[in-house]
Structure 1
C-alpha cells in the first residue's frame, strides 16, 4: 500500500516545470519575480525588494536586486522539490547572501502573521538553509589547516575570548529582565528568558573551559592563597545558576560553615562549584541541589548515573583544578538517591579584624 502511494508522486512532472520557470534570463527585471513558482516565496521576495528600495534606493540597481531575489526564490523552491542543481553563480555574492537572509526573515515574519503559511514554512526554511549552504564560502578547509597548524591553539583561544563578551552581555540583559528592572514581564516571557539565560550560561562556560584547557586545565589564577568570604562565594554561584533552577522548579540549598573567612584559591573553587552545580541542575528533574561544607564535599543529587556535561570539558577541568589545589575530585552514586561529587581542601581560617 505504501509503495503504491509513493510511486505516483515520483512520476509527477514537477521538476521540468520548475526548470522552465526558473531558467536564467539575460534581462531579469522587476517582472522577473512573477516567475518564482511559490506564491509565498514570491510575496516575500516582493516585500524584501520594496524594503530594500526604501532603505537603499537604487544603490545596487532595482533590476539587479529583483533578479537576485528571483534566483534565490527559484533556488529555494527547487531545493524543496529535491533538486541538487547548482545555484546560479550570481547568488554567490555578498549581496546574494544578504538578500537570502532578508528573505528568510520575511518568511519567518509571515509565519507569525499568517497561520495558513504554517504548513509550507518548515520545508521552505529547510530549502533556504540548503541554498545558504550552497552559496556560502566553505571555510572548513581553511579552519582545519589553521587549527592543525602551529597557531591552532591560539586561534581556538581567540575564538573563545571573542564569544565571552557578547555572551556575558546576554547573561546580564536576561538577568536584568528577569529581575523586572526594565519593567514587568509575564510568566511566558520569564520562562523564555530563563531558557535564554541557561543556554547562554552553557555557551559561556564552554568558552571558559576551552580557554582553561588551552592553558593546561590546571592553571590557578591566584599565584598564592588569598583571603576570601565563603558566603560571598556561595552567593555568587547561587545568583549565576538561580534562573536555571527556577526554570526547572528546583530548590538550591547552600550551607556554610561557622567560620566565613578562609585563605585559599577562591576563583578556582568558585569555578569548580559552578561547574558541578550547573551539571547537577542540568540532570536533576525534581527535588533539590545542595552545596554544603565547601571544603569537604560538593553535592549534586541526580537521577542519572553521572553528571557529565555533553562536551565533558567542565568535569575534566574541575578535576584538574582540584588537583592543582592539592586534592582529588571523587564521585559516588546511589540508585534512586542521586550522585555526589566531593573533594577536600585545607583552607585555614582567617582572623577577622
Structure 2
C-alpha cells in the first residue's frame, strides 16, 4: 500500500536471504523496493521498516521467537516510537521480551535504509523527532531491563540467577584456558617471547575468572564443597611452583619481583586444592595493587606438623577503616583503588572460608610503610609418616 494514493496494491517483491554486514561490521537488513511517499509519510516508512524486521527476524537473528509474539512486540515498539516522537506526554507500553533492544536496533537500521530508498524527501524536523523518539524508547528498554534484573536478584530466586551467570561464564573460560595453554606450549607452531608473555597473561586472567566463577557457585550453595572431605598427600613445592607460574606473567608485565620460599618437610597431608586457591587469590591481588617492589609467597614450618603460609607485598597498604569489614562479602571500597581486593569482597570471603574449613584462621597485618601481609597456620601432618 502506498501512502500517497491510499489504494491497495500488491507489496513489491522482497529480496530473500540473510542480512549482510556492511564495511563497518553492522548487520544490514535487505531493503524492500522503493516506496512512493511524500515528505510527511513517516508512518508509512515505520510500518514498512517494522514489517521488514518481522519478515527477516528468523534469518538475521534466529533466536526462535515465534511470530505470534514477535509481531505484537514490534507493533508495540512502533507505537512507542510514534508517541515519543510526538512528545505528547503519554507514555506507551514497551515489550518486556528479552530481545526488545535487538528489535529496536534492527528497526532503527531498517527505518533509515527504507527512508533513504524512498522517493520522497524527508522533512528534517520530523526526522529528528522520530530518531529522538527511538533513543527515548531505547532508554526506557534499558531501564526496564535493569529494573527487572535487579528485581529478580532481590527475589527468592536471586541466588540461583547468580549461580546461572557463573555457570554460563565457566564454559567459555575453560575453552580460553585450553586454547591459551595449547598455544603457549607451541602445539600449534612456534611462538616468540612476546607472544609467550601475552599468552601467559591471557591464561592468568582466564584462570582467575574461572576461580571466581567457581567460588561464587560454591559460596552461593553454602560452601560445603570448598574443601576435599578427605586429606590428600601433596607436595608443598608443587603447590608453590604452580601458583608462582600462574601469576608470574602479571609480575613480569608490571616489572615486579615475584619470590617464593619453603622450608621443612615437603610431603604433607591436607587439602592442596583449597590451599592453592587461597594462595593464588592472595598473590593475584597482591600483584594487582603493588606498583613497586616485590610480592613473596612463603611456607614455613612452625612445628613438626604445622605450617605457616603467607603472601606479603610492598604495596600501598590497607586503610585502617577498611580492616573491620575486610572479610565481609559485597563490601564496597571507600575510594577507587583503596582496597587491596575487589569491591565485591568475594575474594577475601572465599579465602577466609577456605582457610577456616582447613582448620586455620586468615590474618592480616598492613601499613603504608611496609605493605600488606596475609598469613595463616595449618595443621599438615607429614605424609611420609615420619
TM-score, normalising length: structure 2: 0.56
Q: Which residue of structure 2 aligns with residue 141 of structure 1?
A: 148
Return the match for 2:28 from 38, 48, 51: 48
Q: Distance between the aligned counterparts of 2:137 and 2:55, measured in 1?
A: 13
SS of equivalent residue, structure 1 residue 161: helix
Return the match for 1:338 from 343, 368, 371: 371
Q: Distance between the aligned counterparts of 1:235 and 1:283, measured in 2?
A: 22
Q: Which residue of structure 1 aligns with residue 119 of structure 2?
A: none
Q: Which residue of structure 2 aligns with residue 297 of structure 1?
A: 309
**1:190-248 deviation line (CA, Å, top 9, x unaligned):** 67656654543443233222123223346543112221111222232223323322322
**1:260-281 deviation line (CA, Å, top 9, x unaligned):** 2100111111111111011111
Question: Bigger radius of gyration, 1 or 2?
Answer: 2
Q: Which residue of structure 1 aligns with residue 102 of structure 2?
A: 97
Q: Which residue of structure 1 aligns with residue 59 of structure 2?
A: none
More moved, 242-251 vs 229-238:
242-251
The answer to whether the aligner puts 1:269 opposite 2:269 as a matched pair is no
Q: Distance between the aligned counterparts of 2:92 and 2:188, measured in 1?
A: 46
Return the match for 1:246 from 249, 252, 274: 252
The answer to whether the aligner puts 1:215 opposite 2:221 as a matched pair is yes
Name the CA shift for 1:68/1:199 in 2 (closer, same or farther; >3 Å): farther
CA drift of 1:167 comes to: 1.4
Q: Distance between the aligned counterparts of 2:26 and 2:342, measured in 1?
A: 46
The answer to whether the aligner puts 1:318 opposite 2:351 as a matched pair is yes
Equivalent residues of 1:262, 1:348 under 8 A apart: yes
**Count of residues paired in the alignment:** 276
Equivalent residues of 1:300, 1:341 under 8 A apart: yes
Q: Distance between the aligned counterparts of 1:312 and 1:319, measured in 2?
A: 11
Q: Which structure 1 residue ranges, 5 or more long, are not aligned?
A: 1-25, 31-41, 52-60, 105-127
Q: Distance between the aligned counterparts of 1:162 and 1:134, measured in 2?
A: 27
Q: Which residue of structure 2 aligns with residue 117 of structure 1?
A: none
TM-score, normalising length: structure 1: 0.60
**1:12-58 deviation line (CA, Å, top 9, x unaligned):** xxxxxxxxxxxxxx99x99xxxxxxxxxxx9869972469xxxxxxx
The answer to whether the aligner puts 1:288 opposite 2:294 as a matched pair is yes
The answer to whether the aligner puts 1:167 opposite 2:173 as a matched pair is yes
Aligned ranges 1:162-241 → 2 under 5 Å: 162-183=168-189, 196-197=202-203, 199-217=205-223, 219-241=225-247
Equivalent residues of 1:97, 1:135 under 8 A apart: no
More moved, 261-270 vs 317-326:
317-326
Q: Distance between the aligned counterparts of 2:250 and 2:162, measured in 1?
A: 28
Name the CA shift for 1:260/1:101 in 2 (closer, same or farther; >3 Å): farther
SS of equivalent residue, structure 1 residue 343: strand
Equivalent residues of 2:233, 2:383 under 8 A apart: yes
Equivalent residues of 1:253, 1:290 under 8 A apart: yes
Aligned ranges 1:117-156 → 2 under 5 Å: 134=140, 138=145, 140-141=147-148, 144-145=151-152, 147-149=154-156, 151-156=157-162
Give the aligned CA root-mean-square deviation in angstroms.
Answer: 4.8
